Amino acid sequence: MDFNLTPEQTGFETAVRRFAQSELARDAVARAHSDDYPWDVARKMARQGLLGITVAEADGGVGGSLMDAVIAIQTVASVCPRSADVVQAGNFGAIRVLAEYGSALQKEKYLRPLLAGEALICVGMTEPDAGSAVTELKTSATPAPGGWRINGSKIFTTHGPHATVILAYVRFGPGTHGIGSVLIDTRAEGVRLGKRSAFMSGEEWVEIFFDNVFVPQDMVVLGEGGFKKQIAGFNVERIGNTSRSVALARYAYEEARQWAMQRRQFGRLLCEFQGLQWKFADMRIKLDAAQLLLYRAAGNADTGFPSATETAIAKAYCNQIGFEVANEALQVMGGMGYSRESLVEYCVRRCRGWMIAGGSIEILKNRIAEGVFERSFPQRAP
Ligand SMILES: Cc1cc2nc3c(=O)[nH]c(=O)nc-3n(C[C@H](O)[C@H](O)[C@H](O)COP(=O)(O)OP(=O)(O)OC[C@H]3O[C@@H](n4cnc5c(N)ncnc54)[C@H](O)[C@@H]3O)c2cc1C
């Protein structure tokens, strides 16, 4: 067992850091507070080979491992937290499911522009009555000549207002077995965006309505019986959220550490107060433990999908401590941490969201508990 990055991984990290510092650092604060999707960053990342890191070379990707993608997203986040969202969208989200299960035609139509940073895919799972209980989703796919008619709606879709295509979870038939997924162009007839809203993080979301939208058969990614495969792919998305939780917490911790070494109160540097030293020691322990859980889940996946249990353990812990560490960093910076002079308050707000998004901490713990007791605990009322 070796807890260090390989020389190749270290070299890759150095190259990504150099790119982030020269291209992303300058506007990091403004970018974090902008409503727009950073398309300019996406195009730069495409040129730099930071989109499709785990996508096969034959499909236009880099052919790397999940660890490579984790190194990229965390390194970018350490310089520009908001730009890490572009790494997420270009490597960890629905794009990974498309690359794994999509047909040659689907990849030609959608994957190529995504890898070029010219398109954006979002995942539409959650519905007004199906959040944690996602298998209760109602959006229906009914047969039509040459394909399917889609009716229903999705909420909380990250990048919903900016996306060009949606990977929508739909119901082809009853039960969990009836769930699959289709690709829907956001400009397709019958797709309607509702009122814009925003999360506490500032990210915008919008309710997406499907009113009898026609989806040709060749735009079905996974048909009936595809739900398990879909969730296996979704574990990659979870690793992306996990990576950013740790990275943004570390960003806030670094800011606070620097602050504590130069801010004086009562004639002493903040770092000389034991009450604050212990906060930093706790933050450091949590960050190190979280990073190791993340590396275990990502490292064991290699170029495939990560284990559901290792992902759940990593995500639950990293989301929890990500928020705790960022919040504690804000506390030791006092009023300055709470203000928009730095991105510490932004990191707190973003980390809070990942405790809910992509499988809340409670839902992940339900899954972990099933492993503990080696049996399933159906949550549905009998
Ligand atoms: C920042 C952010 C980004 C998101 N991005 C997307 C996206 O891109 N696409 C998408 O489809 N969705 C997205 N979501 C939605 C997200 O997946 C849901 O919010 C999440 O699954 C929880 O569903 P809910 O909000 O309906 O809460 P509910 O399911 O109503 O849960 C409310 C609370 O009850 C707890 N709870 C529920 N059931 C149980 C149980 N059985 N045991 C213990 N506790 C339970 C939950 O953990 C939660 O704390 C995003 C959400 C956020 C916050």
**What whole-number percentage of the chain has pLDDT above 70?**
100
Distance 181 CA to ligand 1 centre (A): 19
Whether 241 is in the pocket of ligand 1, judged by its Cβ within 6 Å, is no
Q: Ligand 1 pocket check: which of 95, 126, 348, 365 to mutate, most ligand atoms within 8 Å of Cβ?
A: 126
* 282 pLDDT higher than 90: yes
How much is the average pLDDT of 128-153? 98
Provide the pLDDT confidence category of residue 1 given band limits of 50, 70 and 90: confident
Distance 234 CA to ligand 1 centre (A): 14
Distance 354 CA to ligand 1 centre (A): 10
Provide the pLDDT confidence category of residue 333 given band limits of 50, 70 and 90: very high
Atom of ligand 1 nearest to the CA of 160: 8
Whether 135 is in the pocket of ligand 1, judged by its Cβ within 6 Å, is no
How much is the average pLDDT of 43-68? 97
Whether 259 is in the pocket of ligand 1, judged by its Cβ within 6 Å, is no
The predicted structure's pLDDT at residue 134: 97
Q: Ligand 1 pocket check: which of 121, 127, 132, 137 to mutate, most ligand atoms within 8 Å of Cβ?
A: 132
Provide the pLDDT confidence category of residue 184 given band limits of 50, 70 and 90: very high
In three-state form (DSSP H/G/I as H, E/B as E, the rest C), the secondary structure along 204-224 is EEEEEEEEEEEEEHHHEEECC
Contact 156, 126 (CB under 8 A): yes
Whether 356 is in the pocket of ligand 1, judged by its Cβ within 6 Å, is yes
Whether 380 is in the pocket of ligand 1, judged by its Cβ within 6 Å, is no
Encode pLDDT of 261-273 as tens digits.
999 999 999 999 9
Encode pLDDT of 81-125 as tens digits.
999 999 999 999 999 999 999 999 999 999 999 999 999 999 999
* 71 pLDDT higher than 90: yes
Nearest to 230 by CA among 170, 303, 281, 273: 170
β-strand 140-144 against 204-216: which pairing, if any? unpaired
Distance 316 CA to ligand 1 centre (A): 13
Distance 123 CA to ligand 1 centre (A): 14
Provide the pLDDT confidence category of residue 314 given band limits of 50, 70 and 90: very high
Encode pLDDT of 230-239 as tens digits.
999 999 999 9
Whether 124 is in the pocket of ligand 1, judged by its Cβ within 6 Å, is yes
Assigned token pair, 106: 């689907």
What mean pLDDT, rounded, does the chain reach? 97
